[in-house]
Structure formats: C-alpha cells, structure tokens
Amino acid sequence: MPFNELQLKILEKSSKTTGYGGFASKSCVRHLNRAYELKSIMPEVAAFLAITAEEEAATAIFAALRKRKYNHASSFKVRDHKHKAGVYPFLKLLGEVLGPLKHDLPLILFFDEKDDALRVRIPIGIQGDRQICVVPDPPLNLVSVDSGGIQTDYLKQVRSVASSQGINSIFKYVQDIANDRNTMLYASDSGIPEIQDIDATLKRHFEAALLNLIVYLLIEPYKVQNLVQESVDTFIKILHRIDEDKT
C-alpha cells in the first residue's frame, strides 16, 4: 500500500490492540490491502473495500470510547452506515476549529519510546539551536493560546461544529458514500457500475481510514479526555439532527 513509515506503523499498532477495537482495526487493514491488490482488475470491488475499511476504522473509535467508558458512547451504532461514515467529516471539521490547528501550529505524531503509545508533539518556538515543543499528556488534552496569550476555549470550538453548515457538510459526505456504494454495486438503466478514477477514490478512503485509526490510537490507551468527551456529545447531537432533519 502507498503509505509512509509512520503510517505503516499506525496500521501495525492499531492492529495489535486488543478487544473489539483491535479486531475492527485488523479488519480495516485487511480491507485496505485487498482494495490495493484489486484496484486494477476489480476497481468497483476495490472501492467498496476501501469504504468498508474507513467504516471499520470508525468502528474501532466507537469501541475505544466504550472501553474507556465515555458518557453516551453506547449511542453509536456500529451497524449504522450514517454513524460510521460521519466520523471522518466530523474529525475534519474539528481540525478546522481546534486550537493548535486553527492557529496553523503543526501537530507532529510520534510513538513514545517509553511505552510505544502514539502521542502528539506541538512545536511552539526555538531556543538557541533547539526546538521547543509541547507534548500534551494525555495527547488530546490540547491547550493553546491566541496571539494575545488568551487560552483557547476548545470545548466551545468543538460545539461550534454543530452548526447548520457543519451538519450539512457531514450529511453530504454520508450521502455521497451511500450513493457511491449503491452505484458501484448495482446496475442502473444506463449500464453497469464503472469507477472512473479508482486511484482518487482509494486515496480519499485510505486517508479517511488512516485519520480514524490515528484518533483511535489517541483515545484507546488513555483515560477519559475532556476534548474527546465534548466531541462525543457534539457528534451525537449532529447525528440526531441528521436523523430528524434528513430522513
């Protein structure tokens, strides 16, 4: 598969976790491998496998939330495509509003030599010939400040995602996935399914699956993190709105 060294290690480490999350991660990686192997001879099947890989990685997140006993984590339905497909666009929206990302500070992923857990390093400046970094512990315990030194209310930023614009963008992604799944499996009055650009399709779902697994590894080993709990609560509200407004 076309992944770099860090990405391959993320796939490996997520597959070595235990319980439901570990099984879902293994399934995700297996689907990614098979999608890549079949892209030339069976592109429609490859695309379907890539979508399934993305959803299996979302299932791993749901499993980690339950394992760590986050409030309301049982509300996520692992058999509901809307719940699983909505994870990736929700995470992308969070990336647009959360502290360090909003202020264009890079988040550098690394595996800690002490326990081999995935962590986040945030460069904040240079002192002499050394780069100064913040390493949040736990990793999603993000704290950032604006140019005036005022601490960012990241929980407020998370809640801002549950706007009409945010909900509509997530719903559109979910609908696009559902339409893609149907058009690649079933014939229509205009012909049989045909993927026009399998490489672009696989790239999109590979990136989504990888992001989901990254978030899984940033949740699974750690106790409850406030940012994660607020994100869970917000995502559940969005799913409820989608079910009420779009069905």
- Number of structural domains found in the chain: 1
Q: Provide the domain limits for residue 127.
A: 5-246
pLDDT in tens, the chain (247 residues): 678 999 999 999 999 999 999 999 999 999 999 999 999 999 999 999 999 999 999 999 999 999 999 999 999 999 999 999 999 999 998 887 775 554 556 678 999 988 889 998 877 777 777 878 778 888 887 655 454 555 566 667 788 888 877 888 899 999 889 888 877 778 777 788 788 899 999 999 999 999 999 999 999 999 999 889 989 999 998 888 877 765 4
Question: Mapping DSSP to helix (H, G, I), strand (E, B) and coil, where does residue 127 land?
Answer: strand
Question: Mapping DSSP to helix (H, G, I), strand (E, B) and coil, where does residue 75 land?
Answer: helix
Q: In whole angstroms, what is the distance from residue 70 CA to residue 224 CA?
A: 7
Q: In whole angstroms, what is the distance from residue 247 CA to residue 241 CA?
A: 10
